[in-house]
Structure 1
């Protein structure tokens, strides 16, 4: 859904238009027409149209704290660093890290002509053509592989993350994160945590990782064949172990074949895990020999992240959509159960 707005709180269309002209953005001299877009959970998304040119502005929400502002600045640096790479993304038009123009940092990016499976499931023909649907999973994995092979130092991202000790930090960091809001017992939490501590990779090749890489955070081009139009929502990106993004791609797989129910999308007809691992290796040049670790960590970590939303839904005067809360409760438990079961079966 979209809503046409003359001015958004914090967005002066005239000031924005002048700034866009200064940065040689498309639609020179035109006053922008602003349209509020849905889909931005952590940040506000606004379509910016000047004449026949359309872009998207991304900025922190009205109640954003300092951490959210810093996170937006990190996104700007990351998207700037992707310029010239083969990673599908919305290209940066211009950015204001200072907040001088609109009172908060923001950036403007190219609008993507594509679709998200979160907008009602698989779009035609992928809703009925299972052979075509297979390509969506291969394209998802290929996007992760391309992101992970970017020469991040050459792209100006030195110091963007702390890859040293990445895996040593994971379990304790996320258990500490959970302790701030945990409201119930999570069966399987400690089983998976203990296994992760004992089986973390002894070495890895650092690279850019999205941090929440799944069908929910990509857009596809319209029509066949399946092609990734853009990776979106970079809030959790860092320099770490890109193989964790592959583990995120395989959420919904607790074995060779995808789940037949309980996942947020219909995975009928999707490739086997072995097929996806082979494709990732071919594109990335990385070994997937330790995929069990990454898949267990992905399920375990996502469960902890989603538990925060569930816990927030229980607070008085909660702003969490009751439908979201109802889905999160059992979803977190299933993710923890999957992580624990996979750890018990792992070599």
Structure 2
């Protein structure tokens, strides 16, 4: 049911002492991810289960294990997140899939829903946007060593290897039978610019890896973030890449639905410069080279999204999704090129 064997889940929860009686009101939770999320009630308590997709990819269980570790590490920090309840790394329990249980978050995803108060009040939408930056600044202040994530990534050389890493990913797109040439603009120019200007002085920390407005839940009672979600790309690197990611995806012309949806279309939001100023007021990180991080974010995310276009051309993904994401990838590379043109 919903990609989850509820009888097997019940037996495991019995062993873990997590409620009693049957699993009730099981229903899928949407939100733009291929991973399965299931909301249910047991023993009067609500749970959210998260596992890999129905057809597991080779790294699906490792991703779930990494997400579990991040959520466990964030307990006690001021980063808003869903509280981890329990995790199962034994793939034999639930049809070969690792999974975890977390507390439900009472909030809304502004890419999919905009409550009437926010929809009708520009000042409230501005506060939502600023609270989004506040959550990012809180993440940037996490001492990853102190919370047990010292070995969660490989920060040495993190920035130096980014350009080559993502050019390599683009080459894998070219190996698909229907994608005969790179179809996004300015790739070589952007790659060369990035390689020639890698920042040399930076502070490692925990990064989300895909920080945009569709990956947070906002509270319904006050303009604040209830939880940052979807930690599958988290690692130890340079937290300024998350800020660059936010700027790269903020109010991107021709591509609002990918990153903020209803919130972007409603308008009345802070500018990217205002968001950066809000971050700077809460961080001791040097933002001198922020343009480099924005360009890297455009480059990396554009290549990731172009992969869907390549798969669509090869018959491995729906054409309408491939075309839409290709447009977004193109806009990202255009934004990167504009920054290059304006750089000294």
- After TM superposition, is the score higher than 0.5? yes
Q: 199, 202, 206: which is aligned to 1:201?
A: 199
Q: Give the equivalent residue in structure 2 for 1:17.
A: 10
CA distance in 2, matches of 1:59, 1:339: 35
CA distance in 2, matches of 1:333, 1:299: 9
| Contact 2:210/2:245 (<8 A) preserved | yes
Q: 213, 236, 239: which is aligned to 2:236?
A: 239
Residue aligned with 2:265, SS: coil
Question: How far did 1:42 drift?
Answer: 3.0
Q: Is the aligned partner of 1:272 residue 2:255?
A: no
| Contact 2:303/2:329 (<8 A) preserved | yes
Structure 1: gaps spanning 5 or more residues: 1-6
Q: 11, 23, 31: which is aligned to 1:32?
A: 23
Question: How far did 1:40 drift?
Answer: 5.3
Q: Give the equivalent residue in structure 2 for 1:172.
A: 164
CA distance in 1, matches of 2:83, 2:76: 9
TM-score by length of 2: 0.90
| Contact 1:259/1:267 (<8 A) preserved | no
| Contact 1:140/1:249 (<8 A) preserved | no
| Contact 2:30/2:37 (<8 A) preserved | yes
Question: How far did 1:163 drift?
Answer: 0.5
| Contact 2:254/2:331 (<8 A) preserved | no
Q: 324, 335, 338: which is aligned to 1:338?
A: 335
Residue aligned with 1:276, SS: helix
TM-score by length of 1: 0.89
Where do 1:1-347 residues align within 5 Å?
7-9=1-3, 11-25=4-18, 28-33=19-24, 34-39=26-31, 41-102=33-94, 103-120=96-113, 122-182=114-174, 183=179, 184-223=182-221, 225-252=222-249, 258=251, 262-264=255-257, 265-266=264-265, 268-316=267-315, 318-320=316-318, 322-347=319-344
Q: Give the equivalent residue in structure 2 for 1:4.
A: none
Runs of 4+ in 1 over 4 A off after TM superposition: 258-262
1:90-128 superposed Cα distances (whole Å, 9 cap, x missing partner): 1100001122421321000000111102214x3322222
Residue aligned with 1:158, SS: coil
Instruction: Provide the aligned length of Structure 1 versus Structure 2.
Output: 330
1:248-281 superposed Cα distances (whole Å, 9 cap, x missing partner): 111345xxxx556543332622113332222212
**Greater CA drift, 89-98 or 41-50:** 41-50
CA distance in 1, matches of 2:150, 2:106: 31
Say which structure, 1 or 2, has more relative contact order (CA 8 Å, 6+ apart). 2
CA distance in 1, matches of 2:201, 2:40: 45
1:195-224 superposed Cα distances (whole Å, 9 cap, x missing partner): 11111111210000010100111110114x
Structure 2: gaps spanning 5 or more residues: 258-263
| Contact 2:36/2:51 (<8 A) preserved | yes
Residue aligned with 1:233, SS: coil
Question: How far did 1:135 drift?
Answer: 1.2
**Structure 1 residues 301 and 15, CA, compared in 2 at 3 Å: closer, same or farther?**
same
Q: Give the equivalent residue in structure 1 for 2:260.
A: none
**Structure 1 residues 207 and 12, CA, compared in 2 at 3 Å: closer, same or farther?**
same
CA distance in 1, matches of 2:169, 2:249: 24
**Structure 1 residues 283 and 21, CA, compared in 2 at 3 Å: closer, same or farther?**
farther
